[in-house]
Structure 1
Amino acid sequence: MKLTTLKTAAVVAVATSLMFGTSAQSAGIDPALGDYKPVSGVSGTLKSIGSDTLNNLMTLWAEGFNAMYPNVKIEIEGKGSSTAPPALIAGTSQFGPMSRPMKSAEIEEFEKKFGYKPLAIRGALDSLAVYVHKDNPIECLSMQQVDAIFSKTRNGGLDKNITTWGDVGMTGEWASRPISLYGRNSASGTYGYFKEVALFNGDYKDEVKEQPGSSTVVQGVASDIAGIGYSGVGYKTADVRSVPLKLTAEGSCFDATADNAATGDYPIARFLYIYVNKNPNQALEPLRAEFIRFVYSIQGQEAVVKDGYFPLTKFVAEEDLKAFGL
């Protein structure tokens, strides 16, 4: 992926869709979303199968929704984004949370069975943070350095493999300290997104210690002073710190904050999706419809903030609700 394409992708995917020129409350919740008010006639069971990154957030949404509809049963299973499409196709889930967009092959498989494409809402905005141990003093990394740390292909263009902290300019006791790598497994949407954007569609090094979940990546880095790993910003703990990133060696450094994600200055920002089987010729039944409305209410976006992600605006809510006929 070319540098200009990387920057453009970040701006188009985030700034354009969110229309921050008209609603720039990236750190707070857009009051125009309004409070969620329960309605009658909502009952039944919901099953969510998909992203581990979204597991905590789906649970928070489920708890908030349950508080308003005690008779509704919601089950959450988070084993990776790649598990969402097969579950939707098989009908074993009503929601398929994914930390990446569905791949064309996944969409084609869905369409082959149902005759129409799946729909998705964008539930939250996430910065995919590069974490180091809290005592690691590294101040900034370029995307090319991140690539050379994690990948064996170095498609970002750096001519030298990075294996020690001295290779990124650290001195003293850090100079000869080998870098210890932590990442997700291939079932994860985070794995795929990081591969696409941070590795410039390259290949991971064999030395990356693949973890089953977002939190275990952070735990690994927290217990390893030489460690570095990637995970959603919502999984940050006091034992790790996120490293500011810059697009090129000559660029400026930006941390994984809401403002920097919104402007596209932080180069690894993404939407978090929830895919749904919605027949375009039929209205959603009340249970799924009201859950989606809840996600886009003030209460729903409060859960987003509580889980450490960034809330969305009324503009995004209206776009997605309109697509669902809500």
Structure 2
Amino acid sequence: MLFLLPHPVAAPSLKFTPPPTLESIPPQPAARDSYEARLVATMSPYAPQTRVTGTIRLWGHGNRKLPWMRHLVMLWQEGFRKFHPGVTFDYQMHGTSSGVPSLFNGTGDVAILGEEILPEAVRAFEHVKHYPPLGIEIVTGSVDVRNFDYAQQFFVHKDNPLAQMTLQQLDAVFGAEHRRGPKNIRSWGELGLTGEWADKPIHPYGWAIDDSFGAYLQEYLLGGSHRWNCALREYVHQSQPDGRIYDHGQQILDALADDRYGIAVSNIRYAGPEVKALAIGATSAGPFYQATKQALVEHRYPLARTIPAIIDRAPGMPVDPKLKEFLRYLLSRDGQEMVIRDGRYLPLSPGLIAEQLRKIE
């Protein structure tokens, strides 16, 4: 087995403008004429199938000090209780890693995660319960809001003539097992660039491979492979003496800005004029998309992300009525209106909502 050590990273020169602290990122309600507001207006309103009472225990993405999903979850609770005043909520949002264990140890009813469920969490649940958990997608990840599952995007230096790449090419550049294609890609000429670029090696920059962002790429880009390009330069958040954080995404694009032959995975919130985002296509036939709100919600961007709510439902058994009503509320126009009122996540598409409703009926 090959173990990859992080590439040594020199101490950065602080040429960036640090992002605002999480506490200073308030809800960002969508404008009434925005794409997401118009989309949600087409959805069916919530209509209870049955009246329910009792307590719903919520676990998952959150923190006692930082209000990650608290505002949105409180909006959901308030809206749901207008229809079901006999329901109370026990709010225990201590972090994504606490969500799924709460289901199989009997302390939680719904785990609202901050990212896609990890294979390790599924295996842990199955080890205890002997069947898989049920995941219901409830929101789409943001374009560029920190800690709200922002889009993973790929960048090159502004001088690079490349404008787009496929998932197969990205796997071949960032990975070492090329599960999507016939070979690894290590030079710009192998991507079709000519002239001075033809024989230049590709310098990849990215998240630490043991970061949750790296885990996502392993699963959804590298096809489950844990074998990365050994040349990958890995970055983690760095705490500064004044307490501010130099985000890994910012470090990545700051490094790319100084490297004409680099390629990086990061997010548009950190991009400056020295780098450019690539359009991504699922196949060489295209189409190719940038990570816009519409492309993410409609899952046209190949690495679009969604946030699930996870519940424990044994095969062949109905969903607990109060949980079913709560999930139906989240998947209704009423529940998705709260998403755009909060404004940090994006709503689901009507087609994806229909798929989720079929899971609980």
The change in CA–CA distance for 1:324 and 1:178 in structure 2 (over 3 A counts) is closer
Q: Does 1:320 align with 2:351?
A: no
The 8 Å contact of residues 47 and 92 in structure 1, kept in 2 or not, is answered as: no
For residues 233-259 of structure 1, what are the alpha-carbon distances to aligned partners after superposition, in whole Å with 9 as ceiling and x for unaligned? xx7526466421134456442223455
Q: Does 1:129 align with 2:146?
A: no
TM-fit CA distance, 1:183 = 2.3
TM-fit CA distance, 1:62 = 0.7
Q: Does 1:150 align with 2:161?
A: no
The 8 Å contact of residues 235 and 252 in structure 2, kept in 1 or not, is answered as: no
Match of 2:93 among 41, 52, 76: 76
Distance, in Å, in 1 between the alignment partners of 2:355 and 2:168 is 35
Where does structure 1 lack aligned partners over 5 or more consecutive residues?
1-24
The 8 Å contact of residues 176 and 184 in structure 2, kept in 1 or not, is answered as: no
Partner of 2:58: 47
The 8 Å contact of residues 60 and 99 in structure 2, kept in 1 or not, is answered as: yes
Structure 1 or 2: larger helix share?
Answer: 1
The change in CA–CA distance for 1:176 and 1:323 in structure 2 (over 3 A counts) is closer
The 8 Å contact of residues 56 and 109 in structure 2, kept in 1 or not, is answered as: no
The change in CA–CA distance for 1:46 and 1:228 in structure 2 (over 3 A counts) is farther
Partner of 2:251: 220
Give aligned-pair identity as a percent: 16
Normalization by structure 2: what TM-score?
0.58
The change in CA–CA distance for 1:264 and 1:300 in structure 2 (over 3 A counts) is closer
For residues 143-185 of structure 1, what are the alpha-carbon distances to aligned partners after superposition, in whole Å with 9 as ceiling and x for unaligned? 23312332233343345315x8997749999x97974522265
Q: Does 1:31 align with 2:67?
A: no
Partner of 2:185: 160
Task: Indicate the SS of the match to 1:29.
Answer: helix
Distance, in Å, in 2 between the alignment partners of 1:168 and 1:154 is 18
Aligned length: 287
Normalization by structure 1: what TM-score?
0.63
Q: Does 1:244 align with 2:299?
A: no
Partner of 1:209: 234
The change in CA–CA distance for 1:77 and 1:208 in structure 2 (over 3 A counts) is farther
Task: Indicate the SS of the match to 1:278.
Answer: coil
The change in CA–CA distance for 1:249 and 1:186 in structure 2 (over 3 A counts) is same
Distance, in Å, in 2 between the alignment partners of 1:115 and 1:192 is 24
Distance, in Å, in 2 between the alignment partners of 1:208 and 1:111 is 35
Partner of 2:100: 85
Match of 1:311 among 313, 331, 348: 348
The 8 Å contact of residues 36 and 299 in structure 1, kept in 2 or not, is answered as: no
Where does structure 2 lack aligned partners over 5 or more consecutive residues?
1-35, 144-150, 238-245
Q: CA RMSD in A?
A: 4.9
Q: Does 1:275 align with 2:310?
A: yes
TM-fit CA distance, 1:34 = 1.1
Partner of 1:62: 73
For residues 17-62 of structure 1, what are the alpha-carbon distances to aligned partners after superposition, in whole Å with 9 as ceiling and x for unaligned? xxxxxxxx9972253331589x98767563322699xx98844431
- Which is greater in Rg? 2
Match of 1:199 among 204, 207, 222: 222
Aligned residue identity for 1:121: I
Task: Indicate the SS of the match to 1:204.
Answer: coil
Partner of 1:4: none
